[in-house]
Chain A
């Protein structure tokens, strides 16, 4: 029994060498990370991406993307969150954007955003008690976006 345990011990220890080589060198050889990501369905938290776009408003030369309100939590939802509104493409945006946004898709505008696209100065006029404040204006890769803090109406 002691000899068997010893042989097994040394075998497992020796197996560590190819495992480590695979871990250090082999990931790129054995695994396509993009395929792995697709297979597992992994995606970034909506805290970073802003969540899925649920409404796109056409303005001729540019579009407004309204993302879903984000209250994501591991269990249930958070009491507070945000909604991201983004305008694209940046080069086609007018000097001033003045737009009413229906964040919860109930057919009524929840707030109004006035945005100077050159200076990235924005102001918020809340229409709904669930709208807290303007979080910020962000020059993202292919959009100019704002985030507006919201209370979760379901909490």
Chain B
């Protein structure tokens, strides 16, 4: 760590020239939205301005991550921005195409639903065993998501949940609103709930040939598309969606300062946890530096550190690699780590090798979504319509 100094909290800083140099590879990926605009050949200035701003923002944030040694602070801001951008991007698009964001039976029977990576756990078993896609979205779109998801999961494991998920920023936002939690103790046994939900929805979806989580439980239907109330079942589901959203994504994160939906309910997150087992990256505690203050333990938004972690020096398999514990550790004992290497030898190299793919994933579709959302907001201001 010759080119590094330590911040007050003990995390590694980087020299500006070095940070600038290491930011350069990210610049073309941060320009994803701009490249799309320019390639379309018909983009107007009002469309290019948001893409330019996002390009600058993504580049500056990566540079700041390197120069300050802080990961979570910048990732979280972008992650929340993406979550808020998704409905601004998706819902007007659906109105442009179909005049509504409610899925009618006609739209499901003609596969007009938008594929979402959260469907993967439900879709894979019937697809592999029967060659049948049980989600009513275009299979081509599903294949695109599948390869993005499998590639990202192999590379960053459950890091998907803090760097790639298009919805996770919602409960991250609400979990960060209060300074102190109202509910300080959450029984750690609840950590097993996502695995139970995953098992239940995978089996039920395979048995019924319907994407059960999407049809009955997904909180994020509130900010995307949902089935039109054309039957008793779809009407009941329409009551459940806002309840799960306000319960798991708004109220409980506000009260506990934890990402309750991501940490204690999301079956897709549970599925991602298994990728942490085969993934090369992990979060480790250098027990020689650790003062056992348990700050990481308290800060972790997904209950992925416990008393056992302070003995083993490892985060649990549910770790989303958000970097909050790394930023919070006053001794610089927490770090991104590559399995098989010695702890504390070159934490900045391990962090960089994680940050590059994670940030490329974020830029890959995040840049487009945020730029489009910003463009729609600008359009609303200038023309009175987002469509």
Point out residues on A near B: beta carbons under 8 Å: 2, 5-6, 8-10, 12-14, 16-17, 19-25, 27-28, 31, 33-34, 36-37, 40-50, 72-74, 136, 138-141, 145
Q: Which residues of B contact A8 (CB under 8 A)?
A: 340
**Do A22 and B151 have beta carbons less than 8 Å apart?**
yes
Which residues of B in the span 56-109 have a Cβ within 8 Å of any Cβ on A? 105-106, 108-109
Q: Which residues of A contact B357 (CB under 8 A)?
A: 16-17, 19-20
**The 10 residue pairs across chains A and B that have the minimum distance between CB atoms:** A23-B151, A24-B364, A20-B357, A9-B340, A16-B155, A5-B340, A13-B353, A9-B338, A33-B140, A33-B143
**Do A44 and B133 have beta carbons less than 8 Å apart?**
yes
Measured CB to CB, the closest approach of chain B to A87, in angstroms, equals 15
Surface stretch bound by A, among B44-52, B121-129, B311-319: B121-129
Number of B residues, CB within 8 Å of A: 53
Most buried by A among B108, B280, B356: B280
How far is A43 from B105 in the complex, measured between Cα atoms in Å?
Answer: 19
How far is A24 from B148 in the complex, measured between Cα atoms in Å?
Answer: 6
Q: Which residues of A contact B354 (CB under 8 A)?
A: 13
Point out residues on B near A: beta carbons under 8 Å: 29, 105-106, 108-111, 125-127, 129-134, 136, 139-140, 143-144, 147-148, 150-152, 154-156, 206-210, 230, 280-281, 338-342, 349-350, 353-354, 356-357, 360-361, 363-365
* Chain B, Cβ-Cβ closest to A31: B147
* Chain B, Cβ-Cβ closest to A36: B143
Question: CB within 8 A of A25: which of B111, B127, B210, B364?
Answer: B364
Q: Can you pick out 7 interface pairs between chain A and chain B where the beta carbons lie within 8 Å of each other?
A: A9-B339, A13-B281, A27-B147, A31-B147, A37-B140, A43-B139, A74-B126
**Do B360 and A45 have beta carbons less than 8 Å apart?**
no
**Do A72 and B209 have beta carbons less than 8 Å apart?**
yes
**Do B280 and A13 have beta carbons less than 8 Å apart?**
yes
Q: Which residues of B contact A21 (CB under 8 A)?
A: 360
Question: CB within 8 A of B155: which of A6, A23, A46, A145?
Answer: A23
Question: CB within 8 A of A24: which of B339, B353, B361?
Answer: B361
**Do A138 and B353 have beta carbons less than 8 Å apart?**
no
Q: Which residues of A contact B131 (CB under 8 A)?
A: 40-43
A50 with B148: in contact, given A13-B353, A19-B155, A42-B131 (CB under 8 Å)? no
Measured CB to CB, the closest approach of chain A to B373, in angstroms, equals 19
**Do B144 and A14 have beta carbons less than 8 Å apart?**
no
**Do B109 and A9 have beta carbons less than 8 Å apart?**
no
**Apart from A13-B353, A20-B156: 19 A-B pairs, beta carbons within 8 A:** A2-B342, A6-B340, A6-B342, A12-B338, A13-B281, A17-B356, A20-B151, A23-B155, A25-B364, A27-B143, A33-B140, A36-B143, A42-B139, A45-B132, A48-B108, A48-B110, A74-B206, A74-B209, A136-B230
